[in-house]
A and B are shown apart, each in its own frame.
Chain A
Amino acid sequence: MNFVANKSDLKVVGTRPVRPDGMDKVTGKAQFGADLTLAGTLVGKIKRSPHAHARIVAIDTSKALAIPGVKSVITAADIPDIPSEEAFVGEGPTNFRDQSLNCIARDKVLYEGHAVAAVAATSSAIADAALAAIEVTYEVLPHVIDVEAAMAEDAPILFEGMITQGVDPKPTKASNIVKKVAFGHGDWQAGMAEADVVVEGKYDTAAVHQAYIEPHACIASVNPDGQTTIFASSQGQFMIRQYTAKILGMDIADIRVTPAEIGGGFGGKTIVYIEPLAVAMSRQAGRPVKIVMTRDEVFRASGPTSGGTIEVKIGAKKDGTITGAYAMVKLQAGAFPGSPVAPACMCAFAMYDLKNVMAEGYDVVSNRAKVAAYRAPGAPISTFAVESVMDELAIKLGMDPIDLRMKNAAKQGTKASYGPVFPVIGFEEVLEAAKAHPHWTAPLGPNQGRGVATGFWFNIGGESSASVFVNEDGSVSVVSGSPDIGGSRASMAMMAAEVLGIPYEKVRPIIGDTAQIGITGVTGGSRVTFATGMATTQAAERAVDELKKRAAMIWDISPDAVDWKDGEAVPAGANAGGFDPLPLAAIALKAAKTGGPINAEVSINAQGAGAAFGAHIADVEVDPETGFVKILRYTAVQDVGRAIHPSYVEGQIQGGATQGIGWALNEEYIYDKNGRMDNAGFLDYRVPVASDLPMIEAVLVEVPNPRHPFGVRGVGEVPIIPPMAAIGNAIKAATGMRLVSLPMSPPKVRAAFDAAKG
């Protein structure tokens, strides 16, 4: 399908119909991960390490196994000891051995909450008793939590064989530094020498959790012949199948994974924690095993995103032209390698057209839960520092902060700080929309301030599959392999309806299990509406081609003499014959006579994802007595390419901004001196709730991506990037104080006031 340049040519895309899964979700009928129970299901639970770092000397499971009702007890000895194998699965580079060891520790525990054994029993109480009866003997080791402490010469080492990659000369001594990365071009130091003004600062961010409302949950059932079914809440049923097969040494064909509805993921459900354990125990017990993590387990043992430190230096001429920019980013990876340090460095300066730029970073392991992807992994962290320094630069230059950004804005043809030249992008349009918005010039009161910050994310395509089935009555089923997190059922149905020329309500979207649809990557990376949408569009086009052939057969004319318009076959011209239009339903009714069912399946590796930019404006009021920061008004402007369903695009932007606001003001992992998390629950780990926030206004800028038939760019990542700096800049405007450490919680703000008073 050719790119539809004119929005006015679209009948369904761009409208706001009701979401197909809405009724089930608001009435509680939707089946989430914990909702399914099969006959004979056992309760699975996991025994976790109380130590942040310890050698496992022995595990005695005999007393647990002797308890009546206990049907399975496993340790790492029951899981294959697989070799190290790098791969790109789910949401990024991974190592299957690390994933296996993260599911269940083998020789060492590397963080508090690390799984050491699992049980399956006939009741929850019996499972708890079994966990208590498992005796684990530990040799406790020194631990390290914070990133710079973990990089120190005398830090406790997690992996004796870890030699830092990417540094010259190659180190000879093991450390916790996994690798160094660097992205940039030009000579940033020469750029600083050219500058009239140089601003620099050191910032730090806390580890924060994706805080999805639904904990990880699954049920697994293994037949005596090895055939295995898994029902699980995740961002990708194929990802679960691949990881489980690899970790347990199974054939992929023996595993069928059905995607449950998902109560949030945000990147955190792109890896496995419990599914291989449930399968291993079901195999041992001969009965289905269900594991549902508690909130406490989710916090302690599933991936947050990294905290880190970021040093930024930017030099500019008096007119605001940036002459040089540098960042050093040090990120926590958690207990295994793989922080998002590369994208953090790549995104740090991507908003700007820079001649001399360099971002370097370190990936660092420490005794925390292994990090997992979280919206725009890494970018919010580096951008907090860069956009704070940009604000300081604007103040120093006496420039409007949006004007400073406009002066240096990346545009089509700009060589991005991470290497490539940008194709069509909409950052200037975003900045123009932000500056023109009434919010930017609205009056403020005492103790109030306004901040602005921007953000960038690449967006991706990837493997997606979709099928279109034309039913006998002319209704259409669309099956795709993408779990629906943000409203993708609606967008798939809308794109199919647009191509087929039929009403949205005639299309029923379905999420297929791993046996019903071709391989599809995870719902993440803001890829589904783009990539699965492209597969759906192509499948609908093939269906239209087939419908035209069937109409030609009915009319007994050449297929070339048939056109498709508004859901009907029509003669291509006067020479084709004087036939009345044949609606889709009429063609479907005769499908048996014209060749059988009319279906089309398309599997693609979608390329051409369009990069996206956003700019957020935040108004805050700071209470000088308590340090409490109240968000008064919040506007998020973003280039979305083209919104298929504007309400769900706005929802993505509002949700991302809300998570960023929580990251800015409240959220953090707090550890005690033994490396144990002190706030593993929503009472002590404070996420924003509706009453904390004003309505977040989402402003959709549409600079279509010409590589997608409807112009789609990814949407879900960008909105979490600017909030931390936008709020920090607003606090600076309100108080004159620059807060450099997240979260900017009341104690920190109060302490800053005290420090300012001397």
Chain B
Amino acid sequence: MPTISIPSSLRRQFTGGMTQLEVEATTFRRLILELERRFPGLGNQVEESMAIAVDGEIFQDAYSLQLKAGSDIVLIPKIAGG
């Protein structure tokens, strides 16, 4: 089961301060749905404004991204640039 690190900006609002979660999800899309089910509003927030780093590589808007058991997942704000 992948482990997901929740950034401080989302902990307070959605997870009651939990910093890490194990989430049963095999794709990024399922991860969003599962987060939304467990913490209403969090999945939508992740979908709209967050990127996901999986084992170090950053993905943005990647529903089909495959997640492996043991994947280290970190949520970060979407990145843009100038």
Among the listed A91, A419, A605, which residue makes an inter-chain contact with B80, where contact means beta carbons less than 8 Å apart? Answer: A91
Q: List B residues 56-82 near A (Cβ within 8 Å).
A: 56-62, 65, 72, 74-82
From B61, B76, B80, contact of A377 by CB (8 A): B80
User: Which of chain B's residues 3-28 have a Cβ closer than 8 Å to chain A?
Assistant: 5, 7-9, 12
Determine the residue in chain A with the shortest Cβ distance to B5.
Answer: A419
Query: How far apart are the CA atoms of A225 and B31 in the complex, in Å?
Result: 45
What is the bound-complex CA distance between A90 and B80, given in angstroms? 8
Q: Contact check: which of B9, B57, B61, B77 meets A608 at CB < 8 Å?
A: B57
Which residues does chain B contribute within 8 Å of A376, judged by CB atoms? 81-82
Give Cα A346–Cα B79 distance, bound, in whole angstroms. 10
Q: How far is the CA of A608 from the CA of B51 in the complex (A)?
A: 12
Q: Which residues on B sit within 8 Å (CB–CB) of A210?
A: 82
Bound state CA distance, A458 and B79, in angstroms? Answer: 8
Residues of A within 8 A of B65 (CB): 607
- Which listed residue, A373, A418, A423, touches B81 by the CB 8 Å rule? A373
Assuming the contacts A88-B78, A377-B80, asked whether A419 and B12 have C-beta atoms less than 8 A apart, the reply is no
User: Does A494 sit within 8 A of B, measured CB to CB?
Assistant: no
A567 to B59, CA, bound (A): 34
Contact partners of A716 in chain B: CB under 8 A: 81-82
Residues of B within 8 A of A373 (CB): 80-82
Q: How many residues of B contact A (CB 8 A)?
A: 27
- The interface stretch among A14-22, A522-530, A544-552, A726-734 is A522-530
Nearest-neighbour CB distance to chain B for A705, whole angstroms, equals: 10
Residues in B whose Cβ lies below 8 Å from that of A527: 81
Which chain A residues lie closer than 8 Å to B32 at the CB level? none
Q: Which residues of A contact B58 (CB under 8 A)?
A: 420, 458, 460, 607, 609
Beta-carbon contacts under 8 Å, A160-192 to B: 166, 168, 179, 181-183
Which of the residues B48, B56, B57 comes within 8 Å of A88, measured between beta carbons?
B48
CB distance from B64 to the nearest CB of A (A): 10
Q: Is the CB of A343 within 8 A of B79?
A: yes
A501 contacts the other chain (CB 8 A): no
Q: Which residues of B contact A374 (CB under 8 A)?
A: 82
A636 CB, nearest partner CB in chain B, Å: 17
Q: How far is the CA of A607 from the CA of B82 in the complex (A)?
A: 18
Judging by beta carbons under 8 Å apart, are A707 and B9 in contact? no
Q: What CA separation (Å) do A752 and B13 show in the bound complex?
A: 46
A90's closest neighbor in chain B, by CB? B80
Chain B residues, CB < 8 A from A88: 48-49, 78, 80
Is B33 located at the chain interface by the 8 A CB criterion? no
In the complex, are the beta carbons of A422 and B81 less than 8 A apart? no
* Docked-complex contact A377 and B82, CB < 8 angstroms: yes
List the A side residues contacting B53 at CB < 8 Å.
419-421
The answer, among A90, A93, A179, A420, for a CB contact under 8 Å with B74, is A420
In this complex, the member of B9, B12, B56, B74 whose beta carbon has the largest number of chain A beta carbons within 10 angstroms is B56
Which residues of A are found within 8 Å of B55, using beta-carbon distances?
A: 421
**In the assembled complex, A457 has its CB within 8 A of some CB on chain B:** yes
Main secondary structure of the interface of A (DSSP, over half): loop
A54 within 8 A of B: no
Residue of A nearest to B12 (CB): A168
Nearest-neighbor residue (CB-CB) of A342 within chain B: B77
Q: Which residue of A lies closest to B74 (CB)?
A: A419
Q: Is A714 an interface residue (CB 8 A)?
A: yes
CA distance A621 to B60 in the complex (A): 45
B82 touches A375 (CB 8 A): yes
**A93–B58 alpha-carbon span in the complex (Å):** 17
Bound form: Cα–Cα A459–B60 in Å: 12
Minimum distance in angstroms from B48 CB to a CB of chain A: 7
Residues of chain B within 8 A (CB-CB) of A267 are: 81-82
Minimum distance in angstroms from A322 CB to a CB of chain B: 21
Contact with B along A377-410 (1 / 0, CB 8 A): 1000000000000000000000000000000000
> Which chain B positions have C-beta within 8 A of A181?
9, 77
Chain A residues contacting B12 (CB-CB under 8 Å) are 166, 168
Q: Which residues of A contact B76 (CB under 8 A)?
A: 346, 418-420
CA distance A376 to B79 in the complex (A): 10
Docked-complex contact B60 and A182, CB < 8 angstroms: no
User: By the criterion CB–CB under 8 Å, are B48 and A91 in contact?
Assistant: no
Q: Is the CB of B9 within 8 A of A459?
A: no
Tell me, yes or no, whether A308 is within 8 Å of chain B by CB: no
Q: Complex Cα distance A520/B28, Å? A: 23
Which residues of A have CB within 8 Å of B78? Answer: 88, 92-93
**CB–CB A707/B57 < 8 A:** yes
Q: Contacting A419 at CB < 8 Å: which of B7, B48, B49, B81?
A: B7
CB-based contact B56/A421 at 8 Å: yes
A717 at interface by CB-CB < 8 Å: yes
A60 interface residue per 8 A CB criterion: no
The 10 lowest CB-CB distance pairs between A and B, nearest first, are A525-B81, A267-B82, A420-B53, A92-B80, A419-B74, A421-B56, A375-B82, A91-B80, A373-B82, A423-B56
Interface residues of chain B, those whose CB is within 8 Å of chain A, are 5, 7-9, 12, 48-49, 53, 55-62, 65, 72, 74-82
User: 30 A–B contact pairs at CB < 8 A?
Assistant: A87-B48, A88-B49, A91-B80, A91-B82, A179-B9, A183-B7, A266-B82, A270-B82, A343-B79, A346-B77, A377-B80, A377-B81, A419-B7, A419-B74, A420-B53, A420-B56, A420-B57, A420-B76, A421-B53, A423-B56, A423-B57, A458-B81, A459-B81, A460-B58, A524-B80, A525-B80, A526-B81, A607-B58, A707-B57, A714-B81
User: Knowing that A420-B58, A524-B82 are A-B contacts, what are 14 other residue pairs whose CB atoms are under 8 Å apart, sorted by A's residue number?
Assistant: A86-B49, A91-B80, A92-B78, A267-B81, A373-B82, A419-B5, A419-B74, A421-B53, A422-B56, A458-B58, A460-B80, A525-B80, A605-B60, A607-B57
